Amino acid sequence: MARYAYPPLDNLSPRLTEELRKRTGPDRGNVWKMLMWSQGMADPFVDFNDAVRYKVSLPDSLRELIILRVGHLCEAAYEVHHHTRISREIGMSEDLIAAAKVGSASPILDSTQQLALALADDLVKDRRASDANFAKAMEVFGPEKLTEIIMLAGCYVMACMFLRTFGIEIEQPGATKAG
């Protein structure tokens, strides 16, 4: 059970009502419902979250690998649960999904994936890339993709803080909808 009740959802702006309709269902949506306590924050967060997920040049599998790594590092079961499902939907192997928990030391990762997860570790633990990883990332990814990796990791650290602070639980299919 969440640490605080989900807000009533009957006085949302038309845009947020539509966003919730698209994003919630029997197996997802509690994070979006809880976010509605602050419609002023929800609206820009929806845009930012969508930008770091869908408007980046990173391959989908690398994006999800980074999100999963951040979720594991932040101990955010909700994030890991949902992005494991998303990772499967985009065709990631179970081994690759499991590698996100291990991190850059996983033997199944290629050098690009190892670097991306090393960056995620740096960003979560130290809030900056190490000098060595920064230099390597500029070589491998260039400034555009490195910017995307940093923004992606930062967005999901923030999401994990929100999830854990409110104790947002994983949805149980068939359960009564909150709100």
pLDDT for res 114? 98
Taking the mean position of all CA atoms in its chain, how far away is CA 82? 9
User: Mind listing the pLDDT tens digit for each residue in 94-138?
Assistant: 999 999 999 999 999 999 999 999 999 999 999 999 999 999 999
Confidence band, pLDDT 50/70/90 cuts, at residue 178: very low
pLDDT tens-digit profile of 3-62?
A: 999 988 888 888 888 888 887 776 678 998 999 899 889 889 989 999 999 999 999 999
Burial class (CB in 10 A: 0-12, 13-18, 19+), 126: exposed
Is it the case that residue 177 has pLDDT exceeding 50?
Answer: no
**Amino acid letter, residue 102:** V
Residue found by looking up tokens 């999830």 in the block: 163
The pLDDT score that the predictor gives to residue 11 is 82
- Nearest-CA neighbor of 28 among 89, 96, 78? 78
Query: What is d(CA 97, CA 68) in angstroms, rounded to the nearest whole number?
Result: 8
Domains of the chain, each with CATH number or no CATH: 14-53 (no CATH), 59-165 (1.20.1290.10)
pLDDT tens digits for range 59-106: 999 999 999 999 999 999 999 999 999 999 999 999 999 999 999 999
Stronger pLDDT, 67 or 171, i.e. the higher one: 67
